[in-house]
Amino acid sequence: MKRILKYFKKIEPDKLKKPLLFSMWESFFTFFFVPKDVTSGVGTHIKDRMDLKRLMTFVVIGLIPAYIFGIYNIGHQHFLALGQYTELFSGWNLKIAHGIIKLLPIFIVTMVVGLGWEFVFASKKGEGIEEGFLVSGALIPLIMPPDIPLWILAIAITFAVVLGKEVFGGTGMNIWNVALLARIFVFFAYPLAISGDEVWVSGFDKLAAGVSPDYSWFHTGFFNTIFDWFGLPQFNPHWTIVDGYTGATPLAIAKDGGWDAVTQVYSTKDMLWGTIPGSIGETSKPLLLIGGLLILLTGIADWRITLSAILGIALSGFLFNMWGATPLMTIPWYYHFYIGGAVLAIFFMATDPVTASGTFRGKWIYGFMIGVIGMLIRVINPAYPEGWMLAILFMNSFAPLIDHFIISKHIKKRLKSE
């Protein structure tokens, strides 16, 4: 270890002459080694080897189960459209391969573009790359459709990082959640790339009966060669989409036909475990809960926000069930956690410590309002049967105001008691 440390110090670039290289070096150095800088010996200090980089790493670890299932479900939905290997674990090698082919470019573009901008701004400040993009970069692929055009993704990430974060001063200074800014940019600038039934099932130019899959060389050349060595099933470019397949999400079905129409297409087991169309990382609720509990138990995410958001969703859903004026209002309130991105949103995005309320009471208000507003958008807005992205960004804007009123109230109360 000492030799590695010595080597790192040996290749350290000059901070003034080569600021970009220094920022890159400093980022990797502080990621692998605990800085030796400590507070002075005067007074009382709390010393800990856990810094922000390592703290953010726990969030990334919590997202790994969603990534693993997301890869598999990309392939599973592709083969459901073809009517091939419709059982969950049949054709597993093809499903994993197709999922990797689709997800890996999205992940690479996210990291290259996002970290590229981070390096540019870090070099201007003569600092190492900031820690915040570790989480944003891990979240962005999970909230995108599997066939998102990569050039659109690159523009969205540039918008989110540059205009949504760096112009405010970088990590810790941004007002809105960076990952959601990337998604909302795609939603409003290129709506056809992230809405409708066709975007959630990958590998086809058009989602219609008789259409053949759009396989690349990686499908029919690289992976088919490997699968042939081991006698495993191979990709067949002559397969076609079966009659009657639409790729509609449960929310899209419920929008027109209500909950009864949803259960005719998907079982509650399918919706719980996530074998349904949707954004890459939002579908499997048990795996999201595993990751969510990790960041809650380690104290990285605040349980008050998550619990209050759950209460907001449950109360709103219950009231909508009593009203029952539209098909979406017929969804039982507890099944709102089964469909869409509610679990991913309230565990991993609403709890962002930078953009959420900072006071204890503010966290309760902030989380509860995310649940209520998200349900209002999901159930009542006819153009967008989902709502967590807009609800969280809306409450991000009001989080400082919520804290301001709560702190002001505390100050007035303390002044009166003196």
pLDDT (tens digit per residue) in 120-167: 887 777 666 666 688 899 999 999 999 999 999 999 999 999 999 988
Tokens of 269: 């087991």
Residue 82 contacts residue 213 (beta carbons within 8 Å)? yes
Predicted confidence (pLDDT) per residue in 343-398, tens digit = 999 999 999 988 999 999 999 999 999 999 999 999 998 677 788 999 999 999 99
| Average of per-residue pLDDT across 42-61 | 64
Share of the chain above pLDDT 90, in %: 70
* Phi, psi for 406 (deg, rounded to 5): -70, -45
Share of the chain above pLDDT 70, in %: 86
Three-class secondary structure of residue 402 per DSSP: helix
172 pLDDT exceeds 90?
no
Compute the distance between CA of residue 248 and CA of residue 278 in angstroms, rounded to an integer.
9
**Count of beta carbons in the 10 Å neighbourhood of residue 352:** 24
The pLDDT of 96-117, averaged and rounded, is: 96
213: three-class secondary structure by DSSP = coil
- How does residue 332 score in pLDDT terms, banded at 50, 70 and 90? very high
Q: Average of pLDDT values for 99-127?
A: 89
Please state whether the predicted TM-score (pTM) of the whole model is above 0.75.
Answer: yes
Q: What is the tens place of the pLDDT at every residue in 266-310?
A: 999 999 999 999 999 999 999 999 999 999 998 889 999 999 999
**Residue range 175-225, pLDDT digits in tens:** 999 999 999 999 999 999 998 888 999 999 999 999 999 999 999 999 999
Alpha-carbon distance of 179 to 195, in angstroms, equals 17
pLDDT at 212: 96
Helices 303-323 & 285-297 angle (0-180, nearest 10): 140
pLDDT, position 268: 96
131 by DSSP, 3-state: which? coil
Nearest Cα to Cα of residue 103 among 157, 140, 59: 140
Is 55 a residue whose pLDDT tops 90? no
In this predicted structure, the answer to whether residue 40 has a pLDDT above a threshold of 60 is no
pLDDT of 45 reads 47
Q: CA angle, corner 81, sides to 79 and 86, nearest 5?
A: 45
For 91, the token pair is: 């054709």
- Give the residue ranges of DSSP H helices in 126-149: 133-142
Which of 49-63, 65-79, 172-186 is least confident? 49-63
Asked whether residue 258 carries a pLDDT value surpassing 80, the answer given is yes
User: HSE on the CB side for 203, CA within 13 Å?
Assistant: 35
Q: What is the pLDDT of residue 315?
A: 97
| Burial class of 131 by CB neighbour count within 10 A (0 to 12, 13 to 18, 19+) | buried
Tell me if 292 sits within 8 A of 348, measured CB to CB.
yes
Q: What is the mean pLDDT of the chain?
A: 89
Q: Of 374, 267, 375, give the one whose Cα is nearest residue 328.
A: 375
Phi (first) and psi of residue 18, to 5 degrees: -130, 70
Say what the pLDDT of residue 196 is.
84
Per-residue pLDDT band for 56 (boundaries 50, 70, 90) equals confident
Give the integer Cα–Cα distance in Å for 309 and 87.
Answer: 35
Return the SS3 of 235.
coil
Q: Pick from 247, 252, 64: which is nearest to 142 by CA?
A: 64
